[in-house]
């Protein structure tokens, strides 16, 4: 028992508002082991800043709590000097990616490894209650598939395609899901599942995922720019996710740049930028361009198909690609002038297109001032949102575990 607790016991039961130094040590050790890639006991010791004895005591305590893997030979952590491992089976989290027509659910262990995924369509059940019911069904099937007990669930995090108040767990509005206005999604999930639930905008979750385990690993200042049917950005500044005073930071689809129409933003309609270089905007450029189209299904091409026809030599497709790249380059240049990121990660079905990225880089090349950020395609692809939700859920689970540890005696 710590000295502080022992002293307070003379005056009555200790207040649980007080956290002992030993409890703080254990929480710190667990947080470092989960969030940083370490290779040795010495590196752990240096990172947490504890004496060898205090570190060994904290590791031993975490082993007794089941959070770290126990040593079978009974040797003390200090004697072995081996880097302890997170016990991945201590608990599990659920990640949810809600799309305009599809839903994906993932089950992950405490190390962030995704054990299984489940997917379904939301076309027939896109109401908030219908989506929550689908999520519950998906979780049940994943638990059965992996033989993980429901009691092991620590938290759930979901991404929604719209303006989302992360603090209160409310989806204000989304044009991709009909009837979603001021939906208390976190509360609905928590009531339905019986575990803490958290909600975030899906593109911000993708940015979290890329920074955690994708193209932006460890980068403090970057922009994840998602270009699909719509356009939005997840922005990190000084290692912090930017949400804005009204939760609309990153809604760059409403930007007005050269080559886009100048009209006021309307949340129920595509924004100025995405109306031209979002997926449907690019198709509109293609269908209204003059000149012969490729034989066959030329009029049914997607944005990426149009770009590959440009590479094959079709003049109309080349003009669409060049116009799209020019507008995208203006967007990136303007964002870079304001935010000064070191990296733009391009995601979404359109944003990850190789010909588009190459054409945009060529246009940006002369613009070295005020900065010339690097452009790179997403490493995580369609899993960026789901992995971002895993990270958000793990962070929530960590807070819950910290509270549990501070109720224990080292």
The domain locations on the chain are: 3-86, 90-207+385-401, 216-378
| Beta-strand relationship, 114-121 and 153-160 | unpaired
Phi, psi (5° rounding) for residue 408?
Answer: -105, 160
Distance of CA 259 to the CA centre of its chain: 31
What pLDDT digit, counting tens, does each position of 244-280 carry?
999 999 999 999 999 999 988 776 678 899 999 999 9
The CATH topology of domain 3-86 is Arc Repressor Mutant, subunit A (1.10.10)
> pTM above the 0.75 mark?
yes
What pLDDT digit, counting tens, does each position of 174-186 carry?
777 777 889 999 9
Enumerate residues 6+ apart whose C-beta is below 8 A from 160: 98, 171, 174, 177, 180, 185, 199, 200, 201, 202
Q: Quick one: angle between helices 41-48 and 21-35, nearest 10?
A: 120
Closest CA to 171 of 189, 154, 156: 189
Q: Phi/psi zone of residue 301: left (φ > 0), alpha (ψ -120 to 50 degrees), beta?
A: beta
pLDDT tens-digit profile, the chain (410 residues): 333 333 333 333 334 444 577 778 888 898 898 888 888 888 898 899 888 889 989 998 898 889 998 655 555 655 567 788 899 899 999 999 998 789 999 999 999 999 999 999 987 777 899 999 999 999 999 999 999 999 999 999 999 988 999 999 999 877 777 778 899 999 999 999 999 999 999 999 999 999 999 999 989 999 999 999 889 999 999 999 999 999 999 999 999 999 999 988 776 678 899 999 999 999 999 999 876 666 666 678 999 999 999 999 999 999 999 999 999 999 999 999 999 999 999 999 999 999 999 999 999 998 877 677 899 999 999 999 999 999 999 999 988 888 878 766 55
Same-fold call for 90-207+385-401 versus 216-378: yes
- Four-way CATH pick for 90-207+385-401: 3.40.50.170, 2.40.110.10, 3.30.420.40, 3.20.20.70: 3.30.420.40
CATH 3.30.420.40 fits 216-378, yes or no: yes
Residue 10's alpha-carbon distances to 3, 6, 150, 320, 409, in angstroms, are 11, 7, 41, 78, 17
The DSSP secondary structure of 185-224, one letter per residue, reads HHHHHHHHHSS-EEEEEHHHHHHHHHHHHSTTTT-SSEEE
Residue 165's alpha-carbon distances to 200, 250, 255, 314, in angstroms, are 7, 13, 21, 45
């Amino acid at each position: 028992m710590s000295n502080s607790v022992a002293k307070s016991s003379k005056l009555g039961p200790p207040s649980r508002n007080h956290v002992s130094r030993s409890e703080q040590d254990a929480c710190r050790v667990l947080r470092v082991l989960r969030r940083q890639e370490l290779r040795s006991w010495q590196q752990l010791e240096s990172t947490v800043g504890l004496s060898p004895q205090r570190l060994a005591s904290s590791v031993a305590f975490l082993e007794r709590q089941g959070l770290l893997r126990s040593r079978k030979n009974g040797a003390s952590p200090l004697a072995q000097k081996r880097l302890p491992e997170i016990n991945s089976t201590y608990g599990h989290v659920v990640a949810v990616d809600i799309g305009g027509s599809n839903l994906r659910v993932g089950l992950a262990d405490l190390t962030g490894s995704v054990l299984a995924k489940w997917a379904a369509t939301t076309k027939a059940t896109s109401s908030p209650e219908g989506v929550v019911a689908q999520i519950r069904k998906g979780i049940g099937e994943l638990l059965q598939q992996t033989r993980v007990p429901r009691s092991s669930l620590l938290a759930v995090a979901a991404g929604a395609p719209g303006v989302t108040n992360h603090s209160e767990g409310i989806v204000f509005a989304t044009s991709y899901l009909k009837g979603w206005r001021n939906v208390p999604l976190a509360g609905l999930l928590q009531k339905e599942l019986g575990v803490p639930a958290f909600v975030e905008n899906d593109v911000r979750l993708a940015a979290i995922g890329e920074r955690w385990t994708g193209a932006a690993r460890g980068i403090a200042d970057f922009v994840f720019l998602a270009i699909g049917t719509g356009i939005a950005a997840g922005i990190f500044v000084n290692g912090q996710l930017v949400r804005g005073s009204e939760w609309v930071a990153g809604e760059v689809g409403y930007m007005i740049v050269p080559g886009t129409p100048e009209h006021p933003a309307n949340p129920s309609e595509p924004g100025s930028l995405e109306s031209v270089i979002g997926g449907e905007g690019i198709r509109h450029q293609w269908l209204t361009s003059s000149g012969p189209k490729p034989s066959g299904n030329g009029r049914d091409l997607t944005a990426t198909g149009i770009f590959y026809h440009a590479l094959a030599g079709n003049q109309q497709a080349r003009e669409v690609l060049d116009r799209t790249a020019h507008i995208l380059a203006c967007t990136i240049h303007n964002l870079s002038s304001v935010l000064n990121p070191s990296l733009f990660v391009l995601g979404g079905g359109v944003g990850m297109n190789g010909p588009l990225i190459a054409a945009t880089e060529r246009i940006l090349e002369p613009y070295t001032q005020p900065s010339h950020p690097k452009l790179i395609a997403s490493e995580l692809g369609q899993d960026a949102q789901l992995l971002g939700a895993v990270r958000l859920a793990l962070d929530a689970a960590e807070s819950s575990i910290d509270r549990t540890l501070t109720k224990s005696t080292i």
